[in-house]
Amino acid sequence: MEATVRGWSAWAPSLEDAQSWERWAEQPVPLGAEGVPDAKFLPPMLRRRCTPLTKIMLRVAFDACPEAERGHVRTVFASRHGSINESIDMIGAVVRQERLSPAKFSHTVHNAQAGLFSIAAGNREASASLAAQSDTFPFGFLEALTHLEREPDRPVLFVTADVPLAPTFAPLVSEATASYAVGLVLANDGPGPRIGFEIAPGDGAASARWPQAAEFLRWWLAGTDALQMEGARQQFRWSRL
Amino acid sequence: MGERSPCSLTALGVVNCLGRNPSEIWKRLIEGDQSGFRQRTDFVPDRSLWVGEVRDSLPELPPELSRFACRNNALTLLALEQIRGEFETALSRFGSDRIGVILGTSTSGVGDAESAIAHQIESGALSSRFHYDQLEFGGASSFVAELLGLGGPAYTLSTACSSGARALASARSLIRLGVCDAVIAGATDSLCGLTTSGFSALQALSDEITNPMSGNRKGLTLGEGAALFLVTADPDGIQLLGVGESSEAHHMSAPDPAGTGARSAMEFALTDAGLGASEIDYLNLHGTGTPLNDSMESVAVDTVFDSGVPCSSTKAVVGHTLGAAGAMEAAFCWLLLAARDGDQLTLPPHCWDGVQDETLPVLALAEKGQCVRAAHPARVMSNSFGFGGNNCTLVLGEPS
C-alpha cells in the first residue's frame, strides 16, 4: 500500500512545534506525561468542555491541516484508551447511584474528539474513531488508507493520541506512558513525499520505548529508508518511496 | 465506478432480545413481536426502563482467553458460533494471515467494569477477575483475532450508533486494498448502567416502549446484541453494494434538524452503489423514536425518495442496540433478502401507535404482513445516524 504524506503535526509536553520535534527526532527522550496545549483555537463554549485528550487531539488536528482544508478532509481519530479516565469517574457515580452530567457523558464517547472536531472545523466529511490495544497507531494508519480507497480524491487527516491511564487501571497495563498526539494528512497524490506500508505476520515480540506514533514520527523526521515495528500479532513496515 | 471487486456478506451470526439465531429472530421481527422487551429497575435509580435484553445464560470464554471475559465478548461469541462453519471454509481457502477482524462497539466491557469498580469502592481493590483487555475497546476485536488465531488486521471502530455500519464499510475496503481475502465484520453492544444512566441524563429515554415517527414519541428504548458477518469478495451471495458517510458538524447529542448530514449519507450510498432512489425496495430507518432524530430523518428520507420508499424502524422491536445497531440492522436487511419468496419480499413492520406527527412528511411505513413485489436483484438500504454526528448508510442487494 502507498500514500502521499501531505503534512504532519505533533504535540507532547514541551514539544509544541515542528522544530522541537525535529530536534527530538535526532535525540529522542521519553515523552512527558503531564500538561495540555492551550486550546485558544477553539471557541470558548467548546473549550470549556474539553478533556485533556480532546485538547491534545484537536490541537494536532488543527495544526496538521491548514484552515482552507480543515472542512474538506475525511478524519480518522485513533486512541487506545480514549475517554476511559473520565469514564471511571462516571462509573463511580453510577455505582453510587448518583446522577450523571449529560454534558460529561456526551464528551466521553470514543468518538467525542471526532464530533468536536467536526463542529469546530465545520467538517461534514466521513469520520472514524478506533482503538486496537497496543497496535492502535498502525491500524489507525490502515483505517486511514481505507478512507482513501473509498474516496480517492479526498485527503485523510489521521490523528493518534493518548494520555496516561488513571491510577485505577494504570498498574494493569504495561506501555510507554505519555501525553501526546501525532497527526498526518494522507492522500493518494499531490505535494509531499510518498510512503509505503506493509503488514506481515509477526511473533508478538512487541515492546516500545515511546508510543508507536512517536516512534513513527521519529523515523519519518530523522530516520533511514524503512521502519519496522513489532506489534502484538503482526510486523508493520513503512518505507520512503 | 471502475473495476472494484464485489463484496459479499457471505454468512451472518446474530443475537438480540428476539433470539439467538437468524431464523428465530427473523420470524419474530416480521411479526412485530415486542415481547423481547422487559422492564428493569436496576439500571437508573427511581426509573423503570424497558430494555431489549438478551436473556438466559451466555457462554463462558475459553480459559486461556479469560482476560477478555465480559458480557460484550460473550455476546460476540454467541454470534461467532453461528458462522463457524463458513469461517472454517474461509480459513482453509485463504489462510489465517489473510483474514481480518473489524468490530464496532460503544460499550465494550463497561458493564463488567462497573462491578469491578463497585468492588474497589467497597474493598479498596479491583476484583482479581478484572483485566483491562475486557474493558478497552481494542479488546473487542483482539478477542476474536486471538480466539480464531487470525493474523490479519484486527481493530475496533467506535463511532456510537454508526460503528457497526462502519465496520462493514472498512471490511470492504480492506478486501479491495488487497490486505485481506475475508473479514469478520460487525458489532456488539451490551446493556450497562453507564449507558442507560447517560442517556437517561440526556432525557433521551422513553418511559414506554419506543414509538418511532409517532406524534407521541418520547425517546429511545435501549437494546443489546451482536451481529457478525463473514465478508468476502465473492460475486455470489448478498452483496454490500454501497456505503455513504457524513458528519453533522452540528452538536454532540443532536442532529442538524435540516437533515443535511442524513441526506448526504443516503445520497452518497446510492451513488456508490450506482443506483437511483427508485431502485431501493426497502429502507431500514435509524428511527430511534427521539423527537429530533425522527423529524430530521423523515425530512431527509422524504427529500431523497421523492416517490417514497417502504420503510420501518426495527428499533421498536429490538431496541436501539447503539454501537451494534448499524450491523444489527444490516443483518435484518440481509435476512429480508435471504427470505425472498418468488417475487415477494416480506418487510419488517413499523411498530408504533399509528399517530402521524402532523409536522412531518408522511413516510410509507410498513405494516405487519406487508410484502413488496421486487424484481431480481432487490436492493435495500439501512441508515445509522450516530451520537456525535457520525452518519453511515449502507445499501445491500441480491447479486445481479
What is the rounded CA–CA span in Å between residue B370 and residue B183? 34
Tell me if A88 and B253 make a contact (CB, 8 A cut-off): no
Give the distance from residue B97's alpha carbon to the nearest chain A alpha carbon, in angstroms.
7
Give me the average pLDDT of each 10-residue run along chain B (400 residues): 80 98 98 97 94 96 97 98 98 98 96 92 89 97 98 97 97 98 98 96 96 98 98 97 94 88 97 98 98 96 97 98 98 98 97 97 97 96 92 96
CA distances from B248 to A105, B186, B258 (A): 19, 23, 10
Give the distance from residue A168's alpha carbon to the nearest chain B alpha carbon, in angstroms.
8
Q: How many other C-beta atoms lie within 10 A of the C-beta of residue A16?
A: 16
- Helices B193-201 and A84-95 meet at what angle, rounded to 10? 90
Q: Domains of chain A (ranges plus CATH)? A: 2-194 (3.40.47.10)
The span from the first CA to the last CA of chain A, in angstroms, equals: 11
Nearest to B249 among A90, A96, A122 (CB): A122
Cβ(B269)–Cβ(B241) below 8 Å: no
Q: Which residues of B touch A99 (CB under 8 A)?
A: 201
What is the rounded CA–CA span in Å between residue A221 and residue B32? 59
Q: Which residues in A84-134 belong to E strands, given as ranges? A: 127-131
Gyration radius (Cα) of chain A, Å: 17
Tell me if A119 and B174 make a contact (CB, 8 A cut-off): no
pLDDT tens sequence across A95-145: 999 999 998 998 888 888 998 899 999 999 999 999 999 999 999 999 999
What is the rounded CA–CA span in Å between residue B271 and residue B264? 10
Tell me if A169 and B197 make a contact (CB, 8 A cut-off): no
DSSP string, B189-220: E---HHHHHHHHHTT-B-SSSP-TTBTT---B
A63-87 per-residue burial string, b: 16 or more CB within 10 A, e: under 16:
bbbeeebbeebbbbbbbbbbbbbbb
Q: Which residues of B touch A169 (CB under 8 A)?
A: 132, 135
Q: Which amino acid is at B29?
A: L
Question: In the predicted model, is pLDDT for residue A207 greater than 80?
Answer: no
Q: A126 CB contacts (<8 Å, ≥6 apart)?
A: A74, A75, A147, A150, A151, B245, B246, B247, B392
Name which of B383, B207, B220 is nearest B297 in CA terms: B383
Tell me if A131 and B158 make a contact (CB, 8 A cut-off): yes
Place of cell 420508499: B309
Place of cell 443483518: B331
Tell me if B247 and A146 make a contact (CB, 8 A cut-off): no
The pLDDT of residue B248: 86
Nearest to B194 among A90, A118, A173 (CB): A90
Give the distance from residue B155's alpha carbon to the nearest chain A alpha carbon, in angstroms.
5
Tell me if A131 and B260 make a contact (CB, 8 A cut-off): no
What is the rounded CA–CA span in Å between residue A12 and residue A33? 8
Q: Which residues of A touch B201 (CB under 8 A)?
A: 99-102, 105
What is the rounded CA–CA span in Å between residue A115 and residue B30? 35
Tell me if B153 and A232 make a contact (CB, 8 A cut-off): no
The pLDDT of residue B332: 98
Tell me if B126 and A87 make a contact (CB, 8 A cut-off): no
Q: Domains of chain B (ranges plus CATH)? A: 8-232 (3.40.47.10), 239-397 (3.40.47.10)
What is the rounded CA–CA span in Å between residue B340 and residue B347? 10
Q: B57 CB contacts (<8 Å, ≥6 apart)?
A: none
